[in-house]
């Protein structure tokens, strides 16, 4: 799976193509073990559409959440800096800074976001600030050919890399500050992003400690289901994954995932498996015309070779008569 190298210049912004849905985005997450506190932060510049997609999501112990979502106007793709959210390169391919200063809607339950209009109109707005530093645990790596996402070049990204990180800093909600010292993932991608292009994808992330974890990616575009890819980290050694199989169980309507089993085939031919249980769910969505893509952003506790790991996992599905497109397959 060797391919195009990831260069220090790739940490910075890329020249947009003329694709109307060109997107350059970066994503950061964190899960604080069993506490129920976690973060999902994303900024996606869609410069040809004149806006940036801004998401700052804080999962709270007890099932609540604080979220800020914006479509903030932008005139160029010169930086990740919109609606109070900013990403800065501290050391290319080594360390990044993430800051936000603004407000968020405080939700009693994360699943309230299934009806965003009602959730945003009835929930209190509170001050939200954060300052975080993400330090790579291992060198970042690409998916597919080493720089893109295999099979998703026309719908998801032509360039992409990601990696596990040590996360430090603080998050402050309504004047109450929480110190952060934990583990998470970050990624950076550029190219077309058509949220309604794939029928579904599954992106599962897990870290048990600084040296053990995995990422598994599987998707279906049209009638083509990819073999999947990702990486396994064992005792600090990274090995890329050549095939992924995800089997999930779902709850009653609206059919959020509840448990999953993932099996990964590594480059050396090993099989690595993990079982996960969802303990916090926040549904996001993207609409275009009358179609909806739901992104169930779930916190998962994994059993990974006898160790307990945690991760933010993403179940993206086109919704068909209220049923996720990938429910019968993944």
pLDDT of residue 194 exceeding 90: no
Q: What confidence score (pLDDT) does residue 239 get?
A: 96
Helices (H) and strands (E) in the chain, counts: 1, 20
Taking the model in full, what pTM does it have?
Answer: 0.95
pLDDT of residue 3 exceeding 90: no
> For residue range 11-31, what is the model confidence (pLDDT) as tens digits?
999 999 999 999 999 999 999
Q: What confidence score (pLDDT) does residue 197 get?
A: 82
Q: What confidence score (pLDDT) does residue 42 get?
A: 98
Rounded distance between C-alpha atoms, residue 4 and residue 186, angstroms? 19
Q: Which residues are CB-neighbours of 81 under 8 A, at least 6 positions away?
A: 87
Q: What confidence score (pLDDT) does residue 224 get?
A: 87
> For residue range 273-301, what is the model confidence (pLDDT) as tens digits?
999 999 999 999 998 888 999 999 999 99
> For residue range 36-58, what is the model confidence (pLDDT) as tens digits?
999 999 999 999 999 999 999 99
Token code pair at residue 233? 């980290």
Angle, alpha carbons 95-99-103 (nearest 5°): 160
pLDDT of residue 232 exceeding 90: yes
Q: What confidence score (pLDDT) does residue 4 get?
A: 66
Q: What confidence score (pLDDT) does residue 143 get?
A: 63
Domain boundaries, the chain: 19-324
Q: What rounded mean pLDDT belongs to the chain?
A: 93
* Banded model confidence at residue 78, pLDDT cuts 50, 70, 90: very high
Rounded distance between C-alpha atoms, residue 305 and residue 271, angstroms? 11
Q: What are phi and psi of 10, to 5 degrees?
A: -70, -15
Q: What confidence score (pLDDT) does residue 195 get?
A: 78
Contact 140, 162 (CB under 8 A): yes
Q: What confidence score (pLDDT) does residue 1 get?
A: 38
Q: In the chain, helix, strand, coil percent, each to 5?
A: 5, 60, 30
The mean pLDDT value for 300-321 works out to 97
* β 291-304/307-320 pair status: antiparallel
Assign 47 to helix, strand or coil: helix
Rounded distance between C-alpha atoms, residue 106 and residue 59, angstroms? 10
Q: Where are the alpha helices (DSSP H) in the chain?
A: 116-122
Rounded distance between C-alpha atoms, residue 35 and residue 32, angstroms? 6
* Banded model confidence at residue 149, pLDDT cuts 50, 70, 90: low
Nearest to 301 by CA among 258, 247, 264: 258
């Amino acid at each position: 799976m060797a391919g195009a190298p990831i260069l220090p210049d790739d940490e910075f912004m890329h020249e947009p193509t003329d694709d109307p849905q060109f997107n350059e985005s970066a994503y950061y997450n964190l899960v604080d073990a069993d506490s129920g506190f976690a973060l999902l932060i994303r900024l996606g510049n869609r410069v040809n559409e004149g806006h940036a997609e801004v998401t700052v999501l804080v999962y709270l112990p007890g099932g609540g959440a604080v979220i800020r979502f914006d479509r903030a106007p932008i005139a160029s793709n010169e930086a990740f800096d919109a609606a109070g959210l900013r990403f800065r390169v501290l050391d290319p391919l080594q360390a990044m800074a993430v800051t936000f200063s603004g407000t968020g809607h405080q939700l009693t339950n994360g699943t309230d976001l299934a009806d965003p209009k009602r959730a945003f109109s009835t929930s209190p707005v509170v001050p939200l600030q954060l300052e975080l530093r993400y330090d790579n645990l291992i060198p970042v790596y690409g998916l597919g050919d080493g720089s893109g996402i295999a099979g998703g070049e026309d719908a998801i990204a032509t360039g992409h890399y990601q990696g596990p990180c040590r996360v430090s800093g603080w998050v402050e909600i309504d004047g109450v500050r929480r110190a952060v010292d934990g583990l998470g993932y970050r990624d950076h991608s550029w190219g077309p992003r058509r949220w309604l292009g794939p029928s579904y994808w599954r992106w599962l992330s897990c870290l048990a400690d600084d040296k053990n974890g995995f990422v598994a990616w599987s998707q279906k575009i049209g009638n083509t289901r990819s073999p999947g890819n990702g990486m396994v980290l064992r005792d600090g050694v990274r090995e890329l994954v050549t095939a992924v199989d995800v089997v999930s169980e779902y709850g009653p309507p609206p059919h959020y995932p509840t448990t999953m089993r993932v099996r990964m085939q590594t480059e050396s031919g090993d099989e690595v498996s993990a079982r996960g249980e969802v303990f916090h769910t926040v549904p996001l969505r993207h609409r275009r015309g009358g179609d909806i893509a739901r992104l169930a952003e779930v916190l998962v506790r994994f059993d990974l070779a006898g160790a307990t790991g945690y991760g933010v996992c993403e179940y993206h599905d086109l919704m068909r008569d209220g049923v996720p497109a990938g429910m019968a397959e993944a």
